[in-house]
Chains A and B, each alone.
Chain A
Amino acid sequence: MKQRHGHGLLRLTMGITAALITAWSVGCTSAPTASPTAAPAKPTEAAKPAAAPATSAPAAKPAEPAPAAKTAAGAPIKIGVMHSTSGPFVFEGVGGNEGVKLYWDAENNQVAGRPVQFIFEDTEGKPDVALTKVRKLAEQDQVHAVIGPIGSNESLAIRDYIHGNRLPLVLGYSIARELTQEKGSPYLFRAAGSLQMNSAGGWYAAKKLNYKRAIMVSTDYAAGRDAAALFKQYYEEAGGKVSSEIYIPLGATDVAPYITQLRSEIANADVVAMPLLIGATASQFVKAYTEFGLKSQVPMFTLGVSVDEASTLPPAGDAGLGIVNFNDWSLTLDLPENKKFVEAFRAKYQKDPGQHHLYGYLEGRLIGEALKAVNGNAEDKDKFAEALGKVQFESPRGPFKLDEKHQAIVTIFIRRVDRVGNQLLNVVIDQIPNVDQFWKAPQ
């Protein structure tokens, strides 16, 4: 028995080695199999941050011939959508897809006479999967642009790839600061308010609300800590003092230990600030904060995502009443564009839109407006990217505009959870216009 296996193994080894060498030699001679329809500059295979832009730079001449565009006049423009529909961001992902469809269905999925085709890919909220999926969209489906993933870590993972391959990427949800700063790219655009919301929030808490000592509660992941750091910086520059910081891990099943911790420190504070408390944890926290009797002692001041009408507020219910918060949009915002958006959304989906729907809508619309500007010529990547950076329109949250690093400049709305009729709604009580990612607080 053993004997026979030994022989078989030997033969197998030899046979396989021979086969491999054959395949290898064939492979080496005919290695570059890039399809002829690919962009003039051969895309580098993966993240090669330094080399890739250098090799592709010559192609960025304004006089770049666009033969593909002519032949593709009636051919569909393909857009990849990488919102995860399973995993930790399923809520945002499913809602984001609804937002994208809201815009594009209204446009009949076409622009400048060309049909627009969407390819939805599930990244599961995992950076590795996001990387594989963006390769698939670029190389297999040959998409003209990608609407990006939800998680900051996913977007950071694919950043080098889209940069190296000059593939326009439009983000809405990923809030990591560096994506539009040191990790910025001519091909990367962020349609929604990033951490700059916390700059304005921190400043407002100290200057306008006169909170002098704050306890910060945020989520224990990279973006949650960055959000807290930014809030703290602007808060303390404006004269406040952060007395302690509490970080709750993602997916903490029970928040009670943190509430008790908070109680032991609350005598030192006149506000509990939540720079980035998200998802289930936010609802649990707001509710427990009331049930443990802390709400009557010290008010909360939070990023809008923790008391969002479409997600985090309904589970918390009345515990959310009266919470003042800051955000780049509000359902109740009294703007004609917002009313149109809300009405259209209600008509299509029979429910109220939330912030995650708006972000999907803005992602979709940013691409749509840019495609209109280039008259549907998505093949000229650099013109398309340039147009993306210049897009301006009246959006549901006010004038839409990106800064030179492609981060949206937003108005921060200060809101309060009120009971309107039998509904809990965020009513806008103040606003801070023109907040960009390098925002300078007024003195």
Chain B
Amino acid sequence: MAFWFEQALNGVSFGMLLFLLSAGLSLVTGLMGIVNMAHGSYFLWGGYIGLTVVALTQNFALAIAAAAIGTAASGAVMQRFFLHRFYKQDLAQVLMTFGFLLIFADHALVRYGGNFHLIAPPSFLERSVQFGDIIYPSYRLFLVVIGLLVAVGMWVFQEKTRMGAIIRAGVDDEEMLRGLGINVPLVFTLVFALGAGLAGAAGVLGGPFVGVGPGIDLQVLLLGFVVLIVGGLGSLKGAFVGSLVVGLLDNFGKALFPELALFTIFAPMAIILAIKPTGLFGKA
């Protein structure tokens, strides 16, 4: 029983990290149809920015803010000056964002070297908590709280604000936005920056247990895509549920069928797509 409870906690906390990573990816893909291969690079760079800030100031919150702002800014630049010109040319976007992925990765390697790092969490989260026989790192519980807060915040943003309404309308019918005289390019840039910033923040928040180092960009990119597809494009609810499903599937899959650890993510994904070709919550 304790085993199942603990595995569920693992899955949920990892799922929350996936949610932070993929919420923005989902919005960007759903709204603008961009398959952004460089999304994992924001995670990577967020992690490195966070690492640097923590080393300088020991301030974890500041590190998250710096990483979010830094990656949001670079995302905005990328969208405004590069991707924007190739709106709806998805193949060109794939090639270009893959190019950025390589550039970012190589630049990070030159700047930070090949070492792997774990970011020190704030000191009050370094201790573990005990319930029953289980000793559990408090940081992972903290991450669940953060994930839920962001989810609620984004839900409010999407459902209750004008900007959110514009985004929702845009996912359904982007032509209509233009008809309404809305500054669509600006909306796109802001949403893209938001997505990049969230991924950058995720890089810091994942830092204490996932860590940052060469190759993490591709790893989380693949996971983000899986979440996106399982949950369905362009849906916040989809990204949330998809993250939890992937987090839990991955955990229980590895625990129950260790021999199949390499399949625990991709096999369910293939099955879900075969049954429901637009993901759990995606629109056709």
Contacts and interface: CB of A to CB of B under 8 A. Distances in A.
Contact of B209 (A251, A261, A284): A284
A91 to B, nearest CB: 4
Given A256-B10, A256-B14, A251 B215 contact: yes
Given A257-B7, A288-B209, A95 B135 contact: no
B116 A279 contact: yes
Contact of B115 (A87, A254, A311): A311
B215 A287 contact: no
B261 A220 contact: yes
A86 B103 CA distance: 12
A134 B38 CA distance: 32
A317 B123 CA distance: 14
B193 interface: no
B94 interface: no
B146 interface: no
A344 interface: no
A432 interface: no
Given A254-B14, A280-B213, A293 B116 contact: no
Interface string B1-33: 001001100110110000000000000000000
A253 B118 contact: no
A258 B116 CA distance: 20
A90 B114 contact: yes
Contacts, number: 107
B80 interface: no
B221 to A, nearest CB: 11
Interface residues of A, number: 40
Nearest to B114: A91
Please report whether the interface of chain B is mostly helix, strand, loop or mixed according to DSSP. helix
Contacts of A257: 7, 10-11, 250-252, 254-255
A246 B254 CA distance: 10
Interface string A272-316: 000000011001100110011110000000000000000110111
Nearest to B213: A280
B118 A88 contact: no
Contact of A251 (B11, B118, B134, B219): B219
A316 B250 CA distance: 24
Contact of B7 (A220, A253, A260, A312): A260
A263 B214 contact: no
B104 interface: no
A220 B259 CA distance: 10
A94 B215 CA distance: 15
A88 B216 CA distance: 10
B210 interface: yes
21 contacts: A90-B109, A90-B215, A94-B114, A95-B114, A249-B262, A254-B250, A256-B13, A256-B14, A257-B11, A260-B255, A261-B254, A263-B3, A280-B213, A283-B118, A284-B210, A287-B209, A288-B209, A293-B128, A293-B135, A314-B117, A315-B116
Interface of A: 86-88, 90-91, 93-95, 220, 246-249, 251-254, 256-258, 260-261, 263-264, 279-280, 283-284, 287-288, 291-294, 311-312, 314-317
